[in-house]
Structure 1
Amino acid sequence: MQTNDNLPTREEVLDAAERVRGLVERTPLTEVRFGGHRLWLKCESLQTGGSFKLRGASNRLALLNEAERKAGVVAFSSGNHAQGVAIAARRLGVPATIVMPSDAPAPKVEGTRAQGADIVFYDRRTEDRVAIAAALAAERGGVVVPSFDDRHIIAGQGTAGLEIADQCPEPVRRIVVCCGGGGLAAGLALACPEAGMVIVEPEGWDDMGRSLALGHIVPVAPDAPPTACDALQTPLVSPLTFGVLRQRGAAARSVTEAEVRAAVRFAWHELGLLVEPGGSAALAAVLAGKVELEPGTVVMLTGGNMDPAIHAEWVA
């Protein structure tokens, strides 16, 4: 277990905000009314690349030295981190290789490839993406850019929290956030230390919630059920993200596939927003009554990369 001394800090989030200024969009914070309550939605689904992942990727790649930039980077992702790294790499002139699951949504694959990144596919059920990425990086002399197990990635994601604090016209008392590896949740916890944190995962993939409850990290069960939330299918969380969220006393909720579908439909019909399944998990928990609402509650919409045909079927 890492000690608190080794965890990322709010100062690192503040540094990241200066570093990524001009490289990421300041996404809208939208007011909505639900169940007699006023809520705030942070629309990271409208970020460049369709998710918050560009924040962490931009911060991490901006810290590469000249030799590392020439050698390139390797990342592993089902799509959103892939696109974030690919966009940041293209802007900085850094070669990028992305290890993606063979069942990644087509729009995410196409979006990553369109940014000029090379793609290496793997089977998420039988192969180890971390090992594949490490081998590729060793072979090419490149730098592995993890999707959440990196203090600079966490700090970069936390810049969304600094924006929230600046944008919200009332004190931010609670942030409800989708959680895969926990990079965004940890970053927000650092950026907004006065706000309570509620992390939301798909049922069966709720390893962060179970880890927090047990006080130590546990993996996703090998027989975890299928989920449409591809962005949240992280088999094992990081000591960094777990450490920050445990330190902050984060609460955890899980949502069903039906609740996720309902959230995708609500976002489209009520808000006019295309939000992918994994990006709507926090909203799903709120709509299902699994989160107590209070003034100053912010709900994260974290990604908008969904196959158009599947989205049309879901919202019909």
Structure 2
Amino acid sequence: MTKSAYVALVTCFNDDETINYQATRNQVKRQIAAGNNIMCAGTNGDFTALTFDEKVRLTEEVVDEAGGKAKVIVNAGMPATFETIKLAREFDRIGVDGIAVITPFFIACTQDGLIRHFTAVADTVSVPVYLYDIPPRTQNHIEPETAKTLARHGNIAGIKDSGGTNESLNAYLGISREMDGFDVYSGPDHLVLWSLQNGAAGAISGLGNVLPDILAGIIDGFNSGDIAKAEVNQEIFGNFRKDLYGLGYPPALVKRALYLMDETVGASRQPALLPDPEQDRKIVEILKKYGRIQP
């Protein structure tokens, strides 16, 4: 099975915090040029700061720009099943390749509640649905047994694991090995190669916004059997992650690093952290170290 990489694309904003759709399209082009697919309206895309209508238009713009040259998955997950289904139907209409559904946030869910939530969404749309587990942000974790139950649904095609540990990723991989048609995509950037070597279908990466070529290098190396190439790129990816994420909240740092490379991506909507000159200086030094901007 050929592995694939998706980048959890940033959403670009103008100075007045409206969405800069053309700049976002440019980021789609950049990822396609590197050989990566797109995940739209995810954590790195500031989805919690976007309105319903903005998510729909954003997805339309991204799908149009991708033009079949890359696959597009979009996150429809919201706290309420009602709104999640409304969004999912819109994305289905647009013609995305898959719909990711992040676990409900703010609302504390039982495992039975999660099963009912994801099943209701998967019953509603024709395109494949992917579970999206990121408990550090939502406080709701998809237990392996719950994932296994959901994997039996004919329209639930896999899971994006952003739990951040080998343990949770390995548990989902065990389900994938046992059940055909249930793919696992790794979220943690330091586990991309490890996950591929243990059966993952690919990776969905936030850090790929800044290092699209390095992410693609891990995937290409693995797919071609050039493990040395994959290992070199994974080492770069992991070291960059350690350096950058050591400064604070990962999605905000990815967006800021990309901004310091290309100001058209803009800042994030408030109340995101405001830029800090000292932090910017440290990010610039990291970008110089990895050859992303000139010394």
Higher relative contact order (CA 8 A, sep 6+): 1
TM-score normalised to the size of structure 2? Answer: 0.32
TM-score normalised to the size of structure 1? Answer: 0.30
Structure (1 or 2) with the greater helix fraction: 2
